[in-house]
Structure 1
Amino acid sequence: MKSLRLAPACATLGLACWLAAASAGAQTSDPAAAADKSADKPSALSGWMFGYAPLDWHFSDAKKENDFEPDEQKHAYVWLIQAEKELGERHIAGFAYFRNSFGQPSQYAYYGWRFRPFDSVPGLFFKVTGGIIHGYKFPYNKKIPFNNRHGWGITAIPAVGYDFNSNWGAQINVLGNAGVMFQLNYTVR
C-alpha cells in the first residue's frame, strides 16, 4: 500500500526532471554559442581571494611578561582562513578568522592596499592591511599593542607575496616582532 502512495510523488518528480532537461536542451540548441556566453560572463565570486595559513614561525618562545600570565605558556598551533575582495586595482578589504598563538579564537576585519612595484616580476606583490582585531583576551591582551582587556584592538599587518598564476599564490604575513605566517591563496577570476 505504501508503494502506491509514493507512485504519484515519483511520477511528479520524474515529470519535473524531464521538463527541466527538455527546457535546458531547448536553451542550448547551439553548444558553441552557449559556451561563448558563459565564458564572457564573470563568476559571482570574481575578485575574491580565499587564503589558508597552516604554518607560522615565532621569533621567540611565549615568555611571561606580567605576573598574571600563566607560568608555563608555550605557543599553540596557529592557523588562519581568510576571504579578501579586490575593490579596485590596489584596494582590498577582507576578513580573517584564526586561532592565535595562545589558543584563543580570533578575528581580523581589514582594509588595505596591494602594490606590484616591479614590472620585471609581475607576480611579486607587497600588501599592507589595517583594521580591527578581536580575540587576544585577558591575560594575553597586552601581547599586541593597542588592545583592550576584552580583546578588541586595532592593528596593521604587512605582507609580501607572489602569484604563481592568475589563481594561485602565496604570501608571508609579518606579525610585528612576534613572527611570520605562511599563507596559500586562491583567487577566483
Structure 2
Amino acid sequence: MKFRTRAIFSLNLAVLTACPAFAQQPSVQDSFSKPYWELVVGPFALHFSNEDEHKQVVLLGVERSEGDGWMWGFSAFRNSFGQASAYAYYGYRWDGLFSNPAIYVKLSGGIIYGYKGEYEDKVPFNHNGFGLGIIPAIGYQLTKADSLQVGALGTAGLIFTYNRRF
C-alpha cells in the first residue's frame, strides 16, 4: 500500500513539474477577467499517517470565481473514515506565483460537515458534525479551462484535484 501511495504522489509531482513543457500559458488577466464556474474532481488523497481505518477519499465539487480573485464553492466527499461529508467555503485565488502566470495559490475557509461520532475530533471546533476548515492549495493552469491542484488538509494529508472551467 505504501508503494502505491508513493507511486501516485510521484506521478502527480511529475505531471506538475513537466507542465511548463506542454501547457498553454494563460495570462494572469485571463484568470480574473470575468466570472466563471469550475468543476472540481478529487479522486485521491494522500494521508500523512497510514492508519488502517483510512478509506479512499473521493471528492466532487463546484466553485464560482467572481472574476476579481474572490471565490466560493461547495464540495461533497467521502471522508477518510468513509462518512459522507461536505465543505461550503469562501476564499481567494492569487495568480502568477513565482512570476509564472500558470501557477496559482488558493486559500479557502468554511464549514465542514460529516465528521461524526468517534471521528468528531478530527476536525477543529467540531460540534454535532459541523466544524471549521481552512484549506490552502497550489495549482497549475494547464490550459485556460483545465488545471491540477494540491490542497493541504491540515496535518492529515493532501488532496489532489482536477479542475475544469466552464
- Scaled by the length of structure 1, the TM-score of the pair is 0.67
Contact persistence 2:96–2:102 (CA under 8 A): no
Q: 1:51 aligns with which of 40, 46, 50?
A: 40
Distance 2:122 2:50 in 1: 12
Deviation at 1:164, TM superposition (A): 0.6
Distance 1:75 1:152 in 2: 20
Residue 109 of structure 1 aligns with an amino acid whose one-letter code is A
Larger Rg: 1
Secondary structure of 1:177's match? coil
Residue 107 of structure 1 aligns with an amino acid whose one-letter code is A
Distance 2:164 2:55 in 1: 26
Partner of 1:161: 139
Partner of 2:19: none
Give structure 1 stretches of 5+ with no counterpart: 1-45, 63-72
Partner of 1:181: 159
Q: 2:64 aligns with which of 77, 82, 85?
A: 85
Deviation at 1:143, TM superposition (A): 1.0
Size of the aligned set, in residue pairs, is: 132
Contact persistence 2:137–2:151 (CA under 8 A): yes
Where relative contact order (Cα < 8 A, 6+ residues apart) is larger, the structure is 2
Structure 1 ranges of 4+ moved more than 3 A: 117-120
Give structure 2 stretches of 5+ with no counterpart: 1-34
- Scaled by the length of structure 2, the TM-score of the pair is 0.76
Change over 3 Å in CA distance of 1:118–1:76 after alignment to 2: closer
Structure whose residues are more often strand by fraction: 2
Partner of 1:107: 86
Q: Deviations over 1:4-61 (max 9, x none)?
A: xxxxxxxxxxxxxxxxxxxxxxxxxxxxxxxxxxxxxxxxxx6000010101110003
